[in-house]
Amino acid sequence: MSPTALQPGRSAATEPTHRVAPQGLGTDPESGGAFAQHVAWMGIELALPRAWACVRHACNPNHGALVFADRLRPRLQLRWDTLKEQDASTFEAHRVLNNYRHAVLAEDEDSEVCPVHREGPWAWVTRRRDDGSVLGRALRLDSFGPRVVEITVTDPPCIPEHPSSQHGHTQATLSPTIDTAQLLRRAHVRCAADEATQWRLLGLHAHTPAGWTPHRIVANPADVSLCFSIDTKPHRPVVAVRRRGLLDAWFDGDLAKTLREQHSGRQIEIEPSPHPDFDTLVSGRANQPRWQRLLRPRVRAVHGRVDHDRQHLLTLELERRAARELDPADFRCALDTP
């Protein structure tokens, strides 16, 4: 929000509407990267600043949240919650936010909170908090099912420009404001959570067959995996899309050797991958008794590709049952990193 949109010490209830309208929520100074990061999760799509990193994630299609932060503070939370049918039929985002606004003013009549505004299907409201930061809260009802989608955006307080201790950067460059109206124009609900096939998060972009949902996420420094499964098949086969970075630190340039070492102790074969997104295929089975393989399924097939320009190794890993039952070409994968 622009510094003049809300002024300390004045009640939003007595301010002209245009003074507190949420259209002036500032812009990332690096306009080229203001909305360069694309997120697709549970049928919801967002465009965010590239510098915002996902610090919290959820795999439950019925309720959960993604949280993104810049280098100084949390900036955005995307939340989804499934309602009961009778609750969804009476849900009104504008009314919910209006009640929220009145509750804030009832607690402190000098609170700076703007009237509820509309941005397409979104109803949203902003308020200035005691620390000077500006909180924007947006709600909408998912037209594909009884689900409420909420976006909460936090803009940092306005402080005098001075070099920080972080290599001469100022807060304006480390934690720039964002135009929330523009952000909401780029926020869409494309489908119900259980119908989603596009997944973009943590530097990975995967396209899965319908019905496949995230089973778990493994996020380590320079090593991220999105693991998908499906309930309609017996034993819930698992497919993982994985990226590993910092190639200069550990990769010697021989992809076949790297994948062979990853699967040491197994009877493996290495051949060109038939998958259009990959170069090399490592397949085989572990050298272990059958009862162990049944209790602890191991990776059966790994398709791999090295991206030297972006310093990443991208792999598609199919657990034993998935490798036997699925066509790996149904899972399209790409890096989503700069």
Q: How many domains does one find in the chain?
A: 2
DSSP code for 163: -
Residue 306 lies in a domain: yes
Q: 167, 194, 221 — which closes off a domain?
A: 194
Q: Identify the pLDDT of residue 171.
A: 53
Question: Is pLDDT above 60 for 62?
Answer: yes
Residue 5 lies in a domain: no
Question: What share of the chain in percent tops pLDDT 70?
Answer: 78
DSSP code for 295: H
pTM of the model: 0.81
Question: In terms of residue numbers, what domain contains 65?
Answer: 17-194
Same domain for 119 and 154: yes
Same domain for 180 and 220: no
Helix (H, G, I), strand (E, B) or coil at 261: helix
Same domain for 228 and 188: no
**Average pLDDT taken over every residue of the chain:** 81
Burial grade of 316 (CB within 10 A; 0-12, 13-18, 19 or more)? buried
Q: Identify the pLDDT of residue 55.
A: 95
Let me know: does 272 contact 279? Beta carbons within 8 Å.
yes
The 8 Å CB, 24+ separation contacts for 213-216 are 213/59, 213/61, 214/59, 215/59, 216/59
Q: How far apart are CA 161 and CA 202, in angstroms?
A: 32
The model's pLDDT over 156-196, given as tens digits with 9 standing for 90+, comes to 886 555 444 444 445 555 667 888 889 999 999 999 998 99
Same domain for 328 and 308: yes
The model's pLDDT over 6-50, given as tens digits with 9 standing for 90+, comes to 433 333 333 333 223 333 333 333 334 688 999 999 999 999 999
Q: 194, 218, 233 — which closes off a domain?
A: 194
Let me know: does 171 contact 164? Beta carbons within 8 Å.
yes
Tell me, letter by letter, the H, E, C secondary structure of 218-233. EEECCEEEEEEECCCC
Least confident stretch, 106-115, 219-228, 262-271, 303-312: 262-271
